[in-house]
Amino acid sequence: MEKRTIPRHIGIIMDGNGRWAEMRGLPRFEGHKMGVQRVKEITEAASGIGVEVLSLYAFSIENWMRPEDEVSVIMGLLEESLRGEFLNFIKEGIRFKVIGNRDKLPENIKSIIETVEQATEKNNRLILQCALSYGGRDEIIRAMRKAINKELIPEDITEDHIGGLLDTAGTPDPDLIIRTSGEQRLSNFLLWQSAYSEFYFTSTLWPDFTKEELLEAIHEYQMRDRRFGKVSNSSGSLAGPLAGSGGSGFGVRSAF
Protein backbone atom coordinates (compact mmCIF):
# COMPACT_ATOMS: atom_id res chain seq x y z
CA MET A 1 0.00 0.00 0.00
CA GLU A 2 1.27 3.50 -0.83
CA LYS A 3 2.61 5.34 2.20
CA ARG A 4 0.44 8.26 3.32
CA THR A 5 0.22 10.57 6.29
CA ILE A 6 -1.20 9.40 9.59
CA PRO A 7 -3.44 12.12 11.11
CA ARG A 8 -1.60 13.90 13.90
CA HIS A 9 -4.79 14.51 15.86
CA ILE A 10 -7.92 12.35 15.84
CA GLY A 11 -11.10 13.35 17.66
CA ILE A 12 -13.81 10.78 18.37
CA ILE A 13 -17.41 11.45 19.36
CA MET A 14 -18.09 8.22 21.24
CA ASP A 15 -21.81 7.72 20.75
CA GLY A 16 -24.15 4.78 21.21
CA ASN A 17 -23.35 3.24 24.60
CA GLY A 18 -26.94 3.44 25.84
CA ARG A 19 -28.41 2.10 22.61
CA TRP A 20 -25.90 -0.74 22.58
CA ALA A 21 -27.12 -1.84 26.01
CA GLU A 22 -30.82 -1.39 25.25
CA MET A 23 -30.54 -3.48 22.07
CA ARG A 24 -29.30 -6.32 24.28
CA GLY A 25 -31.89 -5.88 27.01
CA LEU A 26 -29.26 -4.56 29.41
CA PRO A 27 -29.30 -1.49 31.67
CA ARG A 28 -27.64 1.55 30.10
CA PHE A 29 -24.70 1.46 32.49
CA GLU A 30 -23.57 -1.82 30.93
CA GLY A 31 -23.12 0.06 27.67
CA HIS A 32 -20.98 2.67 29.41
CA LYS A 33 -18.86 -0.08 30.98
CA MET A 34 -18.27 -1.64 27.58
CA GLY A 35 -17.51 1.80 26.17
CA VAL A 36 -14.71 2.24 28.71
CA GLN A 37 -13.14 -1.02 27.54
CA ARG A 38 -13.29 0.24 23.96
CA VAL A 39 -11.45 3.43 24.96
CA LYS A 40 -8.48 1.40 26.13
CA GLU A 41 -8.27 -0.58 22.86
CA ILE A 42 -8.59 2.47 20.63
CA THR A 43 -6.05 4.45 22.67
CA GLU A 44 -3.53 1.62 22.32
CA ALA A 45 -4.23 1.39 18.59
CA ALA A 46 -3.82 5.13 18.01
CA SER A 47 -0.60 5.23 19.99
CA GLY A 48 0.74 2.22 18.13
CA ILE A 49 0.47 3.84 14.69
CA GLY A 50 1.92 7.21 15.64
CA VAL A 51 -1.11 9.42 16.31
CA GLU A 52 0.06 12.35 18.44
CA VAL A 53 -3.25 13.46 19.99
CA LEU A 54 -6.43 11.48 20.59
CA SER A 55 -9.40 13.55 21.79
CA LEU A 56 -12.35 11.57 23.12
CA TYR A 57 -15.75 13.19 23.70
CA ALA A 58 -16.63 11.45 26.94
CA PHE A 59 -19.27 13.67 28.55
CA SER A 60 -20.78 16.83 27.10
CA ILE A 61 -21.83 19.82 29.15
CA GLU A 62 -25.40 19.02 28.06
CA ASN A 63 -25.07 15.50 29.50
CA TRP A 64 -25.52 16.93 32.99
CA MET A 65 -29.24 16.98 32.12
CA ARG A 66 -29.31 13.16 32.01
CA PRO A 67 -30.83 11.18 34.92
CA GLU A 68 -28.80 11.57 38.09
CA ASP A 69 -28.18 7.85 38.47
CA GLU A 70 -26.74 7.57 34.95
CA VAL A 71 -24.45 10.57 35.52
CA SER A 72 -23.31 9.00 38.79
CA VAL A 73 -22.45 5.75 37.01
CA ILE A 74 -20.46 7.59 34.32
CA MET A 75 -18.50 9.58 36.91
CA GLY A 76 -17.82 6.40 38.87
CA LEU A 77 -16.55 4.61 35.78
CA LEU A 78 -14.32 7.57 34.97
CA GLU A 79 -12.75 7.56 38.42
CA GLU A 80 -12.31 3.77 38.37
CA SER A 81 -10.76 3.90 34.90
CA LEU A 82 -8.29 6.63 35.79
CA ARG A 83 -7.17 4.83 38.92
CA GLY A 84 -6.83 1.58 36.99
CA GLU A 85 -4.97 3.06 34.01
CA PHE A 86 -2.76 5.47 35.95
CA LEU A 87 0.37 3.26 35.94
CA ASN A 88 -0.26 2.13 32.36
CA PHE A 89 -0.29 5.76 31.18
CA ILE A 90 3.13 6.23 32.74
CA LYS A 91 4.46 2.96 31.33
CA GLU A 92 3.18 3.66 27.80
CA GLY A 93 4.23 7.31 27.71
CA ILE A 94 0.67 8.62 27.50
CA ARG A 95 -0.06 12.13 28.68
CA PHE A 96 -3.58 12.47 30.06
CA LYS A 97 -5.37 15.79 29.82
CA VAL A 98 -8.96 16.91 30.41
CA ILE A 99 -10.64 19.67 28.42
CA GLY A 100 -13.97 21.12 29.49
CA ASN A 101 -15.67 23.07 32.26
CA ARG A 102 -14.25 21.65 35.47
CA ASP A 103 -16.41 23.86 37.69
CA LYS A 104 -19.26 21.40 37.29
CA LEU A 105 -17.26 18.27 38.17
CA PRO A 106 -17.48 16.57 41.60
CA GLU A 107 -14.49 17.23 43.85
CA ASN A 108 -13.32 13.60 43.84
CA ILE A 109 -13.24 13.63 40.03
CA LYS A 110 -11.32 16.91 39.95
CA SER A 111 -8.80 15.48 42.39
CA ILE A 112 -8.05 12.28 40.45
CA ILE A 113 -7.87 14.24 37.17
CA GLU A 114 -5.31 16.65 38.61
CA THR A 115 -3.27 13.76 40.04
CA VAL A 116 -3.11 11.89 36.73
CA GLU A 117 -2.46 15.06 34.69
CA GLN A 118 0.45 16.07 36.89
CA ALA A 119 1.95 12.57 36.95
CA THR A 120 1.83 12.22 33.15
CA GLU A 121 2.58 15.79 32.03
CA LYS A 122 6.09 14.93 30.77
CA ASN A 123 4.94 11.92 28.72
CA ASN A 124 5.20 12.51 24.98
CA ARG A 125 4.18 9.37 23.08
CA LEU A 126 0.48 10.27 22.89
CA ILE A 127 -1.72 12.99 24.36
CA LEU A 128 -5.01 11.46 25.46
CA GLN A 129 -7.37 14.41 25.65
CA CYS A 130 -10.63 13.64 27.43
CA ALA A 131 -13.48 16.09 26.71
CA LEU A 132 -15.37 16.02 30.01
CA SER A 133 -18.17 18.41 30.92
CA TYR A 134 -17.24 19.89 27.58
CA GLY A 135 -19.05 22.05 25.06
CA GLY A 136 -17.49 23.89 22.13
CA ARG A 137 -19.56 27.02 22.65
CA ASP A 138 -18.84 27.00 26.38
CA GLU A 139 -15.12 26.69 25.59
CA ILE A 140 -15.23 29.71 23.28
CA ILE A 141 -17.16 31.76 25.85
CA ARG A 142 -14.59 30.93 28.52
CA ALA A 143 -11.79 31.88 26.10
CA MET A 144 -13.43 35.25 25.42
CA ARG A 145 -13.72 35.89 29.16
CA LYS A 146 -9.99 35.19 29.48
CA ALA A 147 -9.33 37.70 26.68
CA ILE A 148 -11.43 40.35 28.43
CA ASN A 149 -9.66 39.74 31.73
CA LYS A 150 -6.34 40.27 29.93
CA GLU A 151 -7.67 43.65 28.72
CA LEU A 152 -6.53 42.96 25.18
CA ILE A 153 -6.91 45.58 22.48
CA PRO A 154 -8.79 44.58 19.29
CA GLU A 155 -5.58 44.37 17.26
CA ASP A 156 -4.31 41.63 19.59
CA ILE A 157 -7.22 39.34 18.78
CA THR A 158 -6.02 36.89 16.14
CA GLU A 159 -6.83 33.28 15.34
CA ASP A 160 -3.60 32.17 16.99
CA HIS A 161 -4.32 34.21 20.09
CA ILE A 162 -7.81 32.80 20.47
CA GLY A 163 -6.44 29.30 19.90
CA GLY A 164 -4.05 29.88 22.75
CA LEU A 165 -6.94 30.66 25.09
CA LEU A 166 -8.89 27.49 24.30
CA ASP A 167 -8.74 24.30 26.36
CA THR A 168 -6.78 22.64 23.55
CA ALA A 169 -3.98 25.22 23.54
CA GLY A 170 -0.68 23.63 22.62
CA THR A 171 -2.15 20.79 20.54
CA PRO A 172 -2.74 20.75 16.78
CA ASP A 173 -6.28 21.02 15.44
CA PRO A 174 -7.91 17.66 14.68
CA ASP A 175 -7.18 16.30 11.23
CA LEU A 176 -9.90 13.67 11.49
CA ILE A 177 -13.08 13.53 13.53
CA ILE A 178 -14.91 10.23 13.85
CA ARG A 179 -18.48 9.86 15.07
CA THR A 180 -20.03 6.52 15.89
CA SER A 181 -23.69 5.38 16.08
CA GLY A 182 -24.98 6.78 12.78
CA GLU A 183 -25.46 10.40 13.82
CA GLN A 184 -23.91 12.96 11.49
CA ARG A 185 -23.31 16.10 13.51
CA LEU A 186 -20.63 17.59 15.76
CA SER A 187 -22.85 18.00 18.82
CA ASN A 188 -20.83 20.94 20.12
CA PHE A 189 -17.47 19.14 19.87
CA LEU A 190 -14.31 21.14 19.04
CA LEU A 191 -16.25 23.75 17.08
CA TRP A 192 -13.37 26.18 16.63
CA GLN A 193 -10.71 23.52 16.11
CA SER A 194 -12.62 21.50 13.49
CA ALA A 195 -12.66 24.25 10.83
CA TYR A 196 -10.66 22.08 8.41
CA SER A 197 -11.13 18.63 9.89
CA GLU A 198 -12.12 15.64 7.80
CA PHE A 199 -15.14 13.69 9.05
CA TYR A 200 -15.85 9.97 9.20
CA PHE A 201 -19.36 8.86 10.21
CA THR A 202 -20.18 5.25 10.96
CA SER A 203 -23.33 3.46 12.07
CA THR A 204 -21.24 1.30 14.41
CA LEU A 205 -22.11 1.89 18.06
CA TRP A 206 -19.14 2.92 20.20
CA PRO A 207 -18.89 -0.37 22.21
CA ASP A 208 -18.53 -2.21 18.86
CA PHE A 209 -15.99 0.20 17.33
CA THR A 210 -12.77 -1.77 16.86
CA LYS A 211 -9.19 -0.90 16.00
CA GLU A 212 -9.88 -2.36 12.54
CA GLU A 213 -12.56 0.27 11.91
CA LEU A 214 -10.24 2.95 13.26
CA LEU A 215 -7.73 1.91 10.61
CA GLU A 216 -10.49 1.95 7.99
CA ALA A 217 -11.36 5.53 8.99
CA ILE A 218 -7.70 6.52 8.72
CA HIS A 219 -7.44 4.80 5.34
CA GLU A 220 -10.42 6.80 4.06
CA TYR A 221 -8.86 9.99 5.47
CA GLN A 222 -5.66 9.23 3.56
CA MET A 223 -7.59 9.04 0.29
CA ARG A 224 -8.92 12.58 0.63
CA ASP A 225 -7.40 15.69 -0.90
CA ARG A 226 -6.95 18.22 1.90
CA ARG A 227 -6.53 21.60 0.20
CA PHE A 228 -7.22 24.06 3.06
CA GLY A 229 -8.68 26.50 0.53
CA LYS A 230 -5.78 26.11 -1.89
CA VAL A 231 -5.56 24.44 -5.29
CA SER A 232 -4.99 20.70 -5.28
CA ASN A 233 -1.49 19.51 -6.06
CA SER A 234 -1.96 17.07 -8.94
CA SER A 235 1.40 15.45 -8.24
CA GLY A 236 -0.04 13.88 -5.11
CA SER A 237 2.60 15.41 -2.85
CA LEU A 238 0.12 15.47 0.01
CA ALA A 239 1.17 11.90 0.64
CA GLY A 240 3.97 11.52 3.14
CA PRO A 241 5.82 8.95 5.23
CA LEU A 242 3.95 6.98 7.87
CA ALA A 243 4.40 8.71 11.20
CA GLY A 244 5.67 6.33 13.82
CA SER A 245 6.44 3.61 11.27
CA GLY A 246 10.17 3.78 11.84
CA GLY A 247 10.68 3.98 8.08
CA SER A 248 9.43 0.43 7.59
CA GLY A 249 7.44 1.33 4.48
CA PHE A 250 4.33 -0.51 5.64
CA GLY A 251 0.91 1.05 5.06
CA VAL A 252 -1.53 1.71 7.87
CA ARG A 253 -3.39 -1.55 7.28
CA SER A 254 -0.29 -3.53 8.20
CA ALA A 255 0.18 -1.78 11.53
CA PHE A 256 -1.63 -4.58 13.40
Catalytic residue, from 15, 138, 167, 175: name it: 15
Q: Which residues lie closer than 8 Å to 48 by C-beta, 6 or more apart? A: 244, 255, 256
Instruction: In whole angstroms, give the CA distance from residue 78 to residue 246.
Output: 34
Instruction: In whole angstroms, give the CA distance from residue 59 to residue 146.
Output: 23
Q: Please confirm, yes or no, whether 208 is among the known catalytic residues.
A: no
Q: Find the helix packing angle between 107-120 and 68-92, rounded to 10°.
A: 10
Catalytic residue, from 17, 63, 108, 123: name it: 63
Task: Give which of 88, 84, 100, 101 is closest to 43, Cα–Cα.
Answer: 88
Q: Please confirm, yes or no, whether 63 is among the known catalytic residues.
A: yes
DSSP codes joined into one string, 109-152: HHHHHHHHHHHHTT--SEEEEEEEEE-HHHHHHHHHHHHHHTT-
What are residue 198's DSSP bridge partners? 176
Q: Active-site residue numbers?
A: 15, 63
